[in-house]
Amino acid sequence: MILRIFETIVPVFGVIGIGYFYGRRFAPNMRAANGLNITVFTPALIFYALTEQSGRHLDLGLAALGAVVVVFGAGALGWLWVWATGRRAAVYVPPIMFPNCGNLGLPVAHLAFGNEGLALMVVLMVVENTLQFTVGLWLLGERVSPRALARNPMLVATAAGMICMAMGWQAPAMIEPAIKMLGDVSIPLMLISLGVRLSGGTQGQWSAGLIGGLAAPVAGLAVAIPFVWIAQPGQTLAALIIIFGVMPPAVLNYMLAEMYDVEPQHVAAIVAVGHVIALIALPLTLAFVL
């Protein structure tokens, strides 16, 4: 059990660490690489996971429902907390609602649960990502564009993958290896990018970081565990929903806060400290669910 936990955690945080120290040394501009990952590599990973690695027996609908319940449930708890403590909702609620199920959740799911775990976590990630670009933007005071959602490559890849899976279609044998190669780039690049992003520092604000970084997994688990107990999903999906709940805040929370000038220093601190907390919380959670 301990060996399996280390086999899951060490590669993930090891690659993040490489990105972190590379970022501290060279401060690379990851904009182009991140753009490729969002528009090419991750959509290829999503499509491949849904059509080639998942079986039709997987309860993807229940996975999607679990993501919706955990995101909105954690958000409701976050709203109650910021209302009771007088904090600004736009700063604290999005990091509590939207976990890092992409560049941290995908590799953990793949290493711990194989192809089945990867396919299920892809569904959790896509639901969370869709909610962040709709509800999340609304929380930041921005308008939601249906046209932009329809052009989102990850959502397009998800829709295409779901249709192909439902119809029993697969990519032609001549094309499938290329899709796989593109998808294989996604996870390592996500981890390197996360490390580089975290290396940028947080300009202090550690009080906000500690409070928000702790609130995110506490709220997520407070919703995920009762959902699993009530819904009784399969063993792998149950484990992944709990892992989804305990994940630290997504780095995208900081990127959007910076874009829309919503106290980005505070949000950056929440994301950074949340990932430090994950070094302890994630192994403990894996020990519980494995």
Q: Where are the domains of the chain?
A: 2-289
Name the stretches of the chain with pLDDT < 50.
Answer: none
CATH match of 2-289 with 3.30.43.10:
no
**pLDDT at 42 (0 to 100):** 87
What pLDDT was estimated at residue 76? 97
Give the per-residue pLDDT at 201.
60
- Residue 206: what pLDDT? 65
The pLDDT value recorded for residue 53 is 62
260-289 pLDDT, tens per residue?
888 877 887 888 888 888 889 999 999 999
Q: What is the CB neighbour count within 10 angstroms for residue 24?
A: 14
pLDDT in tens, 147-188: 877 888 888 888 898 888 878 888 888 999 999 999 999 888
pLDDT for 261: 81
pLDDT at 92: 93
pLDDT of residue 255: 72
